[in-house]
Structure 1
Amino acid sequence: MISINNLQKDFGEKRAVDIQNYVINQGEMLGLVGNNGAGKTTLFRLMLDLLKADSGNIKIKDIEVSKSEEWKTFTGAFIDEGFLIDYLTPEEYFYFIGKMYGLSKENVDERLSSFERFMNGEVIGQKKLIRNFSAGNKQKIGIISAMLHKPQLLILDEPFNFLDPSSQSIIKHLLKKYNEETNATVIVSSHNLNHTVDVCPRIALLEHGIIIRDIRNENNSAEKELEDYFNVNEE
């Protein structure tokens, strides 16, 4: 699904990403973990062609992301609220996203119904612009809009941020169910190790832009390895 090849990205003298070869297979749920400044968001921005690599490339289904836009038709992503059009209401924004992917208003409404518990009566029908929503509800709007067209590749940066515990639990369930039903590739980053371990059978540990461990997580087996690593790092 995704292949990363000799990828490097520098910001001045700092090398933010340095990954020689890494493959993410179709249908995998991958968690990306690392300390602040490890390069997680930079890697996502390179995957989405929002940053230009200094060398190397990323391919999604053998399509080099910097040389074609074909991959965009089957990719959904939410990194931060900069992805949102905040002078629209959530309904207007969802319909706009739907129209981009050939979905009618009826299609969009039908798909939104599966997020009803997640929205918790706080998103639809509020008669206010996205900019006036709380950080948590902006997060919900972004996650839903990324999943609306049922992408085969879903990329979410810190999806648990700003969400209350109930919403965190619901989105974990939704992501696992989505992966099981569609065989979509799902990649999430999170500072919260527990959430990542709960959701992802494979975890990439990023440090100074390098994937230093590729962990198979069976029955939450990665939890202790990650906790030991980060505790050592903090000493």
Structure 2
Amino acid sequence: MTAIDIDNIRKTFGNVTAVDIPELKIEKGDLVGLVGNNGAGKTTFLRLLLDLSRPDEGAATLHGVNPRLSEEWKAWTGAFIDEGFLIDFLSPKEYFNFIARIDGIPAGELSERIEQLHSLTGDELLSTPTLIRNLSAGNRQKVGIAAALINNPRIVILDEPFNFLDPSSQEALKRLLTDYNRTTGATIIVSSHNLQLVTDISTRLLVMDHGSIVKNIINDSPSAAEELRDYFAG
């Protein structure tokens, strides 16, 4: 079953083509690593999926829903693109409670869901009264990722989630995403500059260059990682 369907989507900024993807299908349960150099169009592509930017032409659908035409997709999609997603005058606990109220998650169920994210957040982050804006960059990143997963989404979209995380937290996030993908069948897209991290977790690797998908690699053997490294080695 197709979770995300791209049909001739194109976005330009002046004379620069940021995204130009004639066709792309991401299947239910795919854990996609989206990689590319700076300016390849990765973030713009993710923003188009989330209706944070409007395409010049074409459309993206999430489980058959066009985000431009319906709000239905928001109930089962979790995303963290940047710190603009956070409400930084709240503490992490207050922010999670806010997300729960918006999504209609009962308090008891929220506690269970937060406990499932404990490997990433830890006790200190959940108990601190410190406002999000006063947290370290790594802890703000953890809050954003955790908030994206609280509503048990069927589609998860994360832009550079490994940024600012220390090695232990990177490993915790890798386990969290792979476990979530395996146990729920959710479709996950993770963009990253770190080829090793995305290769470790992804079932499929998409390479973007100048707004286009130039490689679509099934990550089922060591040769996939080699192909990826060879591409960026020139």
Which TM-score applies when normalising by structure 1?
0.97
CA distance in 1, matches of 2:50, 2:34: 16
Deviation at 1:221, TM superposition (A): 3.1
Q: 2:169 aligns with which of 167, 170, 191?
A: 167
Aligned length: 232
Q: 1:100 aligns with which of 99, 102, 120?
A: 102
Displacement over 2 Å in runs of 4+:
none
Matched residue, 1:136: 138
Matched residue, 1:216: 218
In structure 2, what residue type is equivalent to 1:129? L
Q: 2:80 aligns with which of 78, 81, 91?
A: 78
CA distance in 2, matches of 1:119, 1:160: 14
Deviation at 1:231, TM superposition (A): 1.2
CA distance in 2, matches of 1:176, 1:62: 25
Q: Deviations over 1:27-75 (max 9, x none)?
A: 1111100000000000000000000100000011111111111111110
CA distance in 1, matches of 2:163, 2:61: 28
Deviation at 1:220, TM superposition (A): 4.0
Matched residue, 2:67: 65
RMSD of Structure 2 on Structure 1 (CA): 0.9
Q: Deviations over 1:156-199 (max 9, x none)?
A: 00111100000100110110100111000011000000001001
In structure 2, what residue type is equivalent to 1:161? N
Report the identity percentage. 50
Deviation at 1:117, TM superposition (A): 2.5
Q: 1:154 aligns with which of 140, 146, 156?
A: 156
CA distance in 1, matches of 2:160, 2:8: 25
In structure 1, what residue type is equivalent to 2:65? I
CA distance in 1, matches of 2:161, 2:24: 23
**Structure 2: any 5+ residue segments left out of the alignment?**
none
Q: Does the 8 Å CA contact 2:154/2:185 hold for their aligned counterparts?
A: yes
Which TM-score applies when normalising by structure 2?
0.97
In structure 2, what residue type is equivalent to 1:192? N
CA distance in 2, matches of 1:41, 1:222: 23
